[in-house]
Amino acid sequence: MEKIKQFLCQKNESANENRRRVGFFMIACSLVVFFACAIRISYVILAGRVAGVSLAERTEALYNGSQILYANRGEIFDRSGRPLVINGQQFDMIAVLSPDYTDGGEPLYLPQEDFPRAAAIISQHIDSTSEEIQAMLETGITEEGETLFQVELGSAAKALSQEQRNAIETELEAENIHGILFNPTNNRTYVNGSMAAHSLGYTTNQDGKVVGGGGLEKAYNDLLQGTDGQIVYERNAQGTPVPGTIETTRPMIHGENLTTTLSEPLQMQLETLLSRANETAQAENMTGVVMKADTGEILAMAQRPTFNPETMEGTEADNFVWRNLFVEEQYEPGSTMKIGTVATAIDNGSFDAAEVIPAGRIEVNGIEINDHDRGRKGPLTMRQAFSWSSNVGMVELFNKMGDDRWRESIGRLGFDKPINAGLPGEVVGSLPDDNLVDLAMSTYGQAVSVNQLQMLRMFSAIANEGIPVQPKIVVNEENTLENERMFSARASRQVLDYMRDVVEDEEYGTAYDLYHLDDENVSAKTGTAQIAAEDGSGYLRGANDYIYSVALIYPSDEPQYILYLTMKRPQNYSQNILPTIANPLMASSVQRSE
């Protein structure tokens, strides 16, 4: 019995000892935790950081806000101040769901019980059903029942017009529904749709900023876009600015406007005439440009196919190209090149208008060169060779000039130098290879490549007594080319006179009675250029695998305008197609005198 008592006493002492140990251990742990917390709190107080995040910065971010002030993009006008590209404003719609979004205790959020009514109203004004809108609103409530601050309402709720916003807000207000907000976004409005689309260009939206993507929008982006500003402010618990705390840290500078040389009425007429002509021709592409002969100011410039830079309608067409065909494409110009060849030959004494040549065919280093009629007209005078567009006549002039003299002369025409007309992406032409065949072919516009504005510059030298002007599309654009004399005044006047034969000579005019201007004479030169195969195997051989063109300088006596039209690979060719564009356009330009 005594042993049992002794055993129980020892066991009780052991239990008491264990309790004391546990007590000491818990006290020690508590002290460790306490001191750890104290050290941590002291560190936070002294260092002001938690998990690498600055408390001061976090507090500043919570109660201090900033906002970017987007500068208005400069607008684009025609030569008379008519707007061509303007700024508009659209809106992206969102729904604020957080109950914390209040003002003076008044709720400004959209509660879940109002989802169906809000969705029904919104669906009447955007391209989404009420079920789709409600489903998007429901994504703002998590599975745990937490509410997101806001949700977006899909692509159909973006880029809304002012009218859509007003209608939605009015109906929501009538139903006392809050929480639907509209964030403004800038957009570009192209007043006349696809008019001059490749010249004016288009814009893209990059991080809320409108940026030029082509044409003048791209070339003059730095001028048009301006400089964004910024404001900072203190905000309350709801995140709204506290009155009197807004401060500008970077001033906003709006973009500068751009005035073009284009004439809106003439441009619109060219667009209409090109569209009608292409309905008949069904060409791979067509172009037209009207330029003031004495200043180089481009009054109208258009191409087909085209597109709407606001909606991008037209870009899906199989034959659509983004390139501006006037500056971003090389081509062999064909017989319109003969204008420069004859003027050069006159200046170096190689051209005798009355000289008779046996037209039809000629050989250069064993390569046969033919006329378009294979010589059916019989012998031609040199003047007739020009108006009848004889390739053989031009090669005869080349033989008289000699390859060295022609090589030097064609270099002065500037086909290997950029025009810098104010449009981006210019691809300069190239001179013929240094062999007799290519040099001879270049006299009639093959084996030499150009861009269209380079051809305009050469035409302008004929119109201005031998001195070219630089084509341009922006008013007050600085001249970057030295307009050195290209031909003599005598040669230019003679060529203008010979160009009249093209439309006035019943027997030897390639465009006889096709181009007219009331009470005025017109100087013209037609062109039919072969198209080089992409694989380098020579030229395409299809029935209409040509670039058909005409250059018109008018009136002949005192040139004021230059009109240049091209039509590439039409499915339905007729020599009457280009005159349907040119004749009304010539009449309008002279009447407007712009």
pLDDT tens for each residue of 431-489? 999 999 999 999 999 999 999 999 999 999 999 999 999 999 999 887 777 778 999 99
pLDDT on residue 3: 58
Query: What are the Cα distances from residue 225, in Å, to 75, 103, 130, 396?
Result: 10, 36, 39, 55
Q: Three-state secondary structure along 581-594?
A: HHHHHHHHHHHHCC
Classify residue 54: in a domain, yes or no: no
Tokens at residue 393, please? 């006549």
- Kindly state whether residues 238 and 268 are assigned to the same domain: no
> Can you spell out the DSSP letters for 302-317?
EEES---TTT-TTTTS
Domain termination site, one of 216, 235, 259: 259
Same domain, 200 and 232: yes
Residue 387 lies in a domain: yes
Residues 312 and 459 in one domain: yes
Stretch 97-126: mean pLDDT: 90
Q: Are residues 201 and 330 in the same domain?
A: no
CATH number of residue 291's parent domain: 3.40.710.10
Query: Do 254 and 269 belong to one domain?
Result: no
The whole model's pTM is what?
0.79
| Any domain includes 552 | yes
Percent of the chain with pLDDT over 90: 70
Is 457 within a domain?
Answer: yes
Structure tokens at 61: 């971010």
Q: Which of 8-17, 73-82, 144-153, 577-586 has the lowest mean pLDDT?
A: 8-17
**Model confidence at 253, in pLDDT bands (50, 70, 90)?**
confident
Quick one: average pLDDT of 91-114?
Answer: 87
Q: Do 282 and 236 have their domain in common?
A: no
Helix axes 130-138, 115-123, angle to 10 degrees: 140
Residue 35 lies in a domain: no
Cβ neighbourhood burial of 297 (10 Å; 0-12, 13-18, 19+): buried
Q: How far apart are the first and last CA of the chain?
A: 133
Using pLDDT thresholds of 50, 70 and 90, give the confidence band for residue 187.
confident
Task: Give per-residue pLDDT as tens, 535-574.
Answer: 888 899 999 999 999 999 999 999 999 999 999 999 999 9
Question: Which of 259, 276, 296 marks a domain boundary?
Answer: 259
Looking at residue 55, its pLDDT comes to: 46
Q: What percent of the chain has pLDDT over 70?
A: 85
Amino acid at 169: E
Identify whether residues 374 and 455 lie together within a single domain.
yes
Residue closest to 333 by CA, chosen among 473, 454, 485: 454
CA distance 509 to 315: 39
Q: Supply the range of the domain harboring residue 190.
A: 66-259
The answer to whether 118 and 110 have CB atoms below 8 angstroms apart is yes
303-332 exposure pattern, b = at least 16 Cβ within 10 A, e = fewer: bbbbbbbbeeebbeeeeebeebbbbbbbbb
- For 421, the 3-state DSSP assignment is coil
**pLDDT of the residue at 32:** 66
Is 336 found in the same domain as 459? Answer: yes
Q: Give pLDDT, residue 6.
A: 60
Please, what's the b/e burial string for 126-156 (b: 16 or more CB within 10 A of its CB; e: otherwise)?
bebebebbbebbeebeeeeeebeebbebeeb
Pair (236, 284) in one structural domain = no
- Which pLDDT band, with edges at 50, 70 and 90, does 100 fall under? confident
Between residues 471 and 43, the one the model is more confident about? 471
pLDDT at 49 over 90: no
Q: Is the pLDDT of residue 59 over 50?
A: no
User: Taking 90 as the threshold, does the pLDDT of residue 44 lie above it?
Assistant: no
pLDDT exceeds cutoff 80 at 24: no
- Enter the tokens of residue 535: 């694989």
Average pLDDT, the chain: 89
Q: Which two tokens stand for residue 479?
A: 């001249």
pLDDT for 271 beyond 70: yes
Domain match, 504 and 466 both: yes
Higher pLDDT: 270 or 105? It is 270
User: Is 146 part of a structural domain of the chain?
Assistant: yes
Q: Tell me the mean pLDDT in the region 499-511.
A: 98
Q: Count of domains in the chain? A: 2
Domain final position from 201, 236, 259: 259
13 in a domain, yes or no? no
